[in-house]
Structure 1
Amino acid sequence: MLLASCASSSKNTARENSQPVIFDTTVYEEPKIATDRKPLSLMDLPQSQHGGFVLAPGFYEAEFKTYCLQPGTPDPSVGDAYIQGPVTGYRKEIVESVLMNSRDYTSVNQRNVQLLLWSVVSGSNFNKLSSEVQADAARLLTPKQIFELKGGVIGVIQTVSNATGILSANKDIQRLFEFGSSSYETIERLAVLKEPSRVLRSGVKADQWYRQKENYYVRYFPLGYKRVKIQVYVPDGLLDADNKSGGDYVVFDPTGQQAYPAFTNAQRLGVGAPVIEIVRVIIQVNKELGRPGRVPDRKKPEPTNPKAPTGPKGI
């Protein structure tokens, strides 16, 4: 198991983010995938009414937009291994809502989503955001959440770690927003350090598969802090003839989750919408994780109840 702590941006965040996050880094038996086997697009699978992918046996991949959630840490480097986990820390419900609702409002510029998230995680004054970012926030969040963000400037930051530089970055980002210097490039220079990540734990492979509780496998390959390639492998025989397990579809939904570095001090990445959105079929799934905040109605075809979803040709 791997322990990692997150820095704070206020007295409240100090208490929440100083709690260690426990990762399951157990090295499971690697799935047997031929080295020359090409993954199929995850986007070719049916989706649930909430946007998760209804799995069928096969090897898949897709790229997703990602966002910096830990200002003051290095950009992911080639070879950094990442693990999927829930969003943690200060105002995590708001962060989750922004990430998930960005999938339904794909017209919202990725930069504006990132500026909003930097404001939220650093404890900056929402009222100091540009009118454009505030308008997009109103599309991604509920009125109650916007009211919470308008609660004023967060108080004095407590020191959690003097070694990471995260504390200083949050203070500097607050200062930039406060004085109206909210250009993307200016904040990015503080939030995303252009330096090699530091190895904190040895013995973890960059291409390590991680087995999920439903016994399929997932691995993450960050492409900088703005994108991540996610691969999913569902072994033959895992699902029944109807492509279900225990009477339920198996749904994989990385949006609204966080990708953590497995062995370095690199960025934590919030996962948003797929880079390319293609919805083939929507299936009504009864057993699916709840969604925090508001999840707007997906403007997709009406849910259907087809025969079991099957993987694309070649599986």
Structure 2
Amino acid sequence: MRNSILKHSFAAACALLLVAACADTSFAQLGGLGGLGDKLKKKTPNLLAEKPPITTSLPDARWGDMSKDGFTPREPERSLLTLQRTPNGGFVLQPGYYMMQTQSYCLHAGTHGPGGGDGYLYAPPKGPAEDAVISIVRNSVQHPEIQQHDIQLLLWAIIARAKFEDLSSNLKSTATRLLTPRQLASLNRNALDALSGNALTDALGGVPEPLRQVAQAEAQLRQMLTVPGSSYAEMERVAVLGGAAPLGPGSQEVPSGRWSLHPDGYYVRYIPSGYSSTRVEIWVPQGSPAVGKEYDPATHIAMPGNTARQRLIQSGRPQQAQ
């Protein structure tokens, strides 16, 4: 029965895919690289698409408040879980100082995990796969039976533009519980072929760093996610780099624990203890316009000041009992 349901769900996705208009894919504007962009079109006809699935970058993190560096609210700290929940898995904000150790997820394969005292700022999810990524994280709150590792694998499949019909039966099951057939069809339209060995080496020839590092990680994940035999730990080593992180291009000095003033009027800061777990703190001052509004973790990406580190999307699932 379960296999039948999966077949029907993916059949619906494929039907939508057949009637969808196919858009031509052009290449990113590689500013500052001279004529290298034209050369890359010939060398990597499908690895450097016009837009990656998630485009959120440091310039999108515009709400950091350095005037609050070192500040801790006077109110007693309370768990976010004491607040009323919303259908999105979010929280209805009230005045006070709140904290939750959340499950967080890597959205930038081929970069380094948190560490080194680098701080993180609020930025919203952006990009062609924004809707699917937000839906996965939101809907996961209503599916506590789905393991965090499976959610991360599904997000890596999106970031790597893997073909969903080639994923394992377990990941297909996860996808059909967290995404609609239309969303699945949209993701399949943007999927790329898996490359390995000489084909991958040839495709990456001439791609400059750090683009090469990210493109290689995504290509390796695409292969590992669609060919049986790779463990989670092996994929994690590809997606989350170890060792000391260099200072990425366009980085900013952001100290750990810097607050961001969300457009809705509340303060938020992120203190990761690894890519999969983040301490999120929310401060809602008395009289703030944020009172009564929703904090929706799935719309929060913790953006590192060091661009060589991971972007981390937050979730409404606690990492441990609060």
Cα deviation digits, residues 32-74 of structure 1 (max 9, x gap) = 9668865211111122343322222211100111111111000
Of the structure 1 ranges 9-18 and 100-109, higher mean CA displacement relative to structure 2 is found in 9-18
CA separation of 1:60/1:266 partners in 2, compared to 1, >3 Å: closer, same or farther?
same
Report the Cα offset of residue 274 of structure 1: 2.1
Structure 2: tracts of 5 or more residues without a match: 1-30, 32-45, 196-202
Given candidates 248, 254, 263, the residue that maps to 2:306 is 263
> Is 1:255–1:272's contact at 8 Å kept on the other side of the alignment?
yes
SS of the equivalent of 1:47 reads: coil
> Is 1:100–1:255's contact at 8 Å kept on the other side of the alignment?
yes
1:183-202 paired onto structure 2 within 5 Å? 183-200=231-248, 201-202=251-252
> Is 1:161–1:167's contact at 8 Å kept on the other side of the alignment?
no
Report the Cα offset of residue 278 of structure 1: 8.8
CA separation of 1:161/1:38 partners in 2, compared to 1, >3 Å: closer, same or farther?
farther
Partner of residue 211, structure 1: 261
Partner of residue 310, structure 1: none
CA separation of 1:32/1:67 partners in 2, compared to 1, >3 Å: closer, same or farther?
closer
Q: 1:115 is aligned with what amino acid?
A: L
CA separation of 1:61/1:26 partners in 2, compared to 1, >3 Å: closer, same or farther?
closer
Distance between the aligned counterparts of 2:256 and 2:70, measured in 1? 17
CA separation of 1:36/1:113 partners in 2, compared to 1, >3 Å: closer, same or farther?
same
Distance between the aligned counterparts of 1:151 and 1:108, measured in 2? 26
Count residues in correspondence: 266
TM-score by length of 1: 0.73
Structure 1: tracts of 5 or more residues without a match: 280-315
Matched, 1:225 2:272: no
Q: 1:204 is aligned with what amino acid?
A: V
> Is 2:122–2:262's contact at 8 Å kept on the other side of the alignment?
no
CA separation of 1:61/1:90 partners in 2, compared to 1, >3 Å: closer, same or farther?
same
Partner of residue 26, structure 2: none
Report the Cα offset of residue 225 of structure 1: 0.7
> Is 1:75–1:195's contact at 8 Å kept on the other side of the alignment?
no
Of the structure 1 ranges 160-169 and 220-229, higher mean CA displacement relative to structure 2 is found in 160-169
Partner of residue 55, structure 1: 93
SS of the equivalent of 2:298 reads: coil
Given candidates 222, 225, 230, the residue that maps to 1:177 is 225
Cα deviation digits, residues 156-176 of structure 1 (max 9, x gap) = 978875225101111111222
- Cα RMSD between the aligned structures? 3.3
Report the Cα offset of residue 18 of structure 1: 9.6
> Is 1:122–1:173's contact at 8 Å kept on the other side of the alignment?
yes
Cα deviation digits, residues 210-234 of structure 1 (max 9, x gap) = 1122332110001101011100111
CA separation of 1:81/1:9 partners in 2, compared to 1, >3 Å: closer, same or farther?
farther
Q: 1:50 is aligned with what amino acid?
A: N
Q: 1:258 is aligned with what amino acid?
A: I
Distance between the aligned counterparts of 2:208 and 2:313, measured in 1? 22
Given candidates 197, 214, 234, the residue that maps to 2:284 is 234
Q: 1:265 is aligned with what amino acid?
A: A
Partner of residue 178, structure 2: 140
